[in-house]
Amino acid sequence: MWRFIGIRLLQAIPVILVVITVTFFLVRMAPGGPFDSEKPVTREVKAALEAQYKLDLPLYQQYFSYLGDLAHGDLGPSFKYSGRSVNELIAAGFPVTAELGLYALLVALGIGCLAGIAAALRPNTPQDYIPMSAAMIGICMPSFLLGPLLVLVFGIYLDWLPVSGWGDIPGDKILPSLTLGSAYAAYIARLSRAGMLEVLNQDYIRTARAKGLPQWQVVLKHSLRGGMIPVVAFLGPAFAGLLAGSFVVETIFQIPGLGRFYVQAAFNRDYTMILGTTVFLSVLIVLFNLLSDILAAWMNPRLRAQYGK
């Protein structure tokens, strides 16, 4: 098991290195610099600014100096938020995004699994069609549409929940989590339906039924584990997607998360912030993919034994 994790982590190093390199040069190639603004500054001012952030050095020197800092875990100063380091900004934004992502994932798992299992138990009946149609809409409903809709209904017309914020007013975490989680709930519903259908057709389910077990026990004790494996395998990519895709929701609900920092950084050409966030997210994506693979393997005793060697 540890060997397997070790190999995967080793494999991740070149991936992340390439990501850093490509991103580094990509952001530099994009037109407009961090200090361009609507009221352009004089050439002298710009030169002074660039000198302050070492942007006056040759690009390759900047690159290696960045890599050197990175090796020490230093992501550099933010260009946009003067006086703040990228590490600090990520430390401020990430917990929020992670929490949002976690709740969204819980929403997605809760709704998705229930709908998927319900559909799988009675395939090709309304109990199947209705949640699956909803799932289809859920997958394709963009969050820039779903978020405002939920806000209008629950925040404004019904006046049940706050329309924005994060941790400021009780209940303000509900709508963002729902908005972000719904698309993934839909995917999970489809995955768990397919997974459960597959498992329910297995011989060992027949064995369980031949033992005289009632339906709910057959589902809970015998089908769930196998049926959920595809869902678990999807969790890694899903969580990565949630992290990367949370900026729309963060913007709609005024949430001070990493996604918003990231997009602002991209618009501001905050080079160090873009790079820092990209590196951070790609490490996270690698880790979560690994975690979900391990979890999926752990759920399958046979694979568990294989990796255990």
What tokens does 287 get? Answer: 């880790």
What are residue 85's DSSP bridge partners? 77
Nearest to 191 by CA among 228, 138, 224: 228
Q: Are 299 and 225 in contact (CB under 8 A)?
A: yes
Closest distance of CB 64 from another protein, Å: 20
**Nearest to another protein of 192, 268 (CB atom):** 268
Q: Distance between CA atoms of 64 and 20, rounded to whole angstroms?
A: 11
Site residues (CB under 8 A) for another protein, limited to 227-246: 240
Q: Distance between CA atoms of 212 and 199, rounded to whole angstroms?
A: 18
29 binds another protein (CB under 8 A): yes
Closest distance of CB 80 from another protein, Å: 10
Site residues (CB under 8 A) for another protein, limited to 270-309: 274, 277-278, 281-282, 285-286, 299-302, 305, 309
Q: Are 219 and 227 in contact (CB under 8 A)?
A: no
Among 149, 153, 171, 220, interactor with another protein by CB under 8 A: 149
Nearest to 122 by CA among 214, 193, 217: 193
**Angstrom distances, CA of residue 38 to CA of 20, 43, 184:** 30, 15, 39
What tokens does 218 get? Answer: 């057959």
Among 5, 70, 114, 139, interactor with another protein by CB under 8 A: 139
> What's the length of the chain?
309
Closest distance of CB 103 from another protein, Å: 17
Site residues (CB under 8 A) for another protein, limited to 35-94: 35-42, 44-53, 77, 81-84, 89, 92-93
**Nearest to another protein of 48, 106 (CB atom):** 48
Task: Annotate each residue in 167-196 with x if it binds another protein (CB under 8 A) or - if it does not, as one string.
Answer: -xx---------------------------
Closest distance of CB 171 from another protein, Å: 12
